[in-house]
Amino acid sequence: MRALYVTHPQVAIDANVPVPLWGLSELGRERARLFAGRGVVPKGAMIFSSRESKAMELADILADAAGALVLSDHLMGENDRSATGFLPPVLFEETADRFFAEPDRSVDGWERAIDAQQRIVDTVRTALACVPEATPAVFCGHGAVGTLLKCHVAGRPISRAEDQSRHGDKGGGNCFVFDLEARVLECEWTAMENFAPGWFA
């Protein structure tokens, strides 16, 4: 079954707020609204989301436009980074590089990449099992676990070279179409603005 994975666009960063509670910035909301307005998500789609605020905001915007409901699951959340909490951008990027480069090790207490990959693959597979035939399925989530899912689908090693920041918009708000069971990746990360409605019909 073909499905669409979409990452949340830009967020309102606040070092005093736990990262899972960050919401979309005004730019992020505007990008999400424009994406929803282009009809990429078909009417009647089933929309699944991480329970993190930024992903839920994206899912709600898409659901409003498509006349759909949102089913949320904390297991679709981003890799667990609570051991370090908020990290300044330069340090975060360095730590993320290590997360992808050493997938079988916990980097500074972060969830291991191999564990996060197994979690997101299993959760997406479980979600797809409840989608009626011919019903479009859309997943709203995050860059790291989305990349880990993409690597699994494509049969590629875990690598930051596969990350959305290397292919799409560096601020997030990127998509790819995939078939999990067939292990087919139909496109690389593509920015919302460049993703044509006909690619997921």
Q: State the Cα–Cα distance between residues 82 and 44, nearest whole angstrom.
A: 36
Q: CA angle at residue 150 from 88 to 22, to 5 degrees?
A: 35
Domain assignment present for residue 73? The answer is yes
- The pLDDT tens digits along the chain (201 residues) read 999 999 999 999 999 999 999 999 999 999 999 999 999 999 999 999 999 999 999 999 999 999 999 999 999 999 999 999 999 999 999 999 999 999 999 999 999 999 999 999 999 999 999 999 999 999 999 999 999 999 999 999 999 999 999 999 999 999 999 999 999 999 999 999 999 888 887
Whole-number pLDDT of residue 198:
86
Domain assignment present for residue 198? The answer is no
Mean pLDDT of the chain: 96
Domain assignment present for residue 197? The answer is no
Domain assignment present for residue 77? The answer is yes
Q: State the Cα–Cα distance between residues 191 and 101, nearest whole angstrom.
A: 24
Q: What is the CATH number of the domain that holds 70?
A: 3.40.50.1240
Instruction: Give the torsion through C-alpha atoms of 59, 71, 166, 17, to 10 deg.
Output: 70
The count of domains in the chain is 1
Domain assignment present for residue 43? The answer is yes
Domain limits for position 149: 2-188
The per-residue pLDDT for range 68-122, each reduced to its tens digit, is 999 999 999 999 999 999 999 999 999 999 999 999 999 999 999 999 999 999 9
By the 8 A CB rule, do 108 and 17 touch? Answer: no
Domain assignment present for residue 199? The answer is no
Domain assignment present for residue 125? The answer is yes
Residue labelled with tokens 């920015």: 191
Whole-number pLDDT of residue 24:
98
Closest by alpha carbon to 32, among 136, 173, 168, 167? 173
Domain assignment present for residue 156? The answer is yes
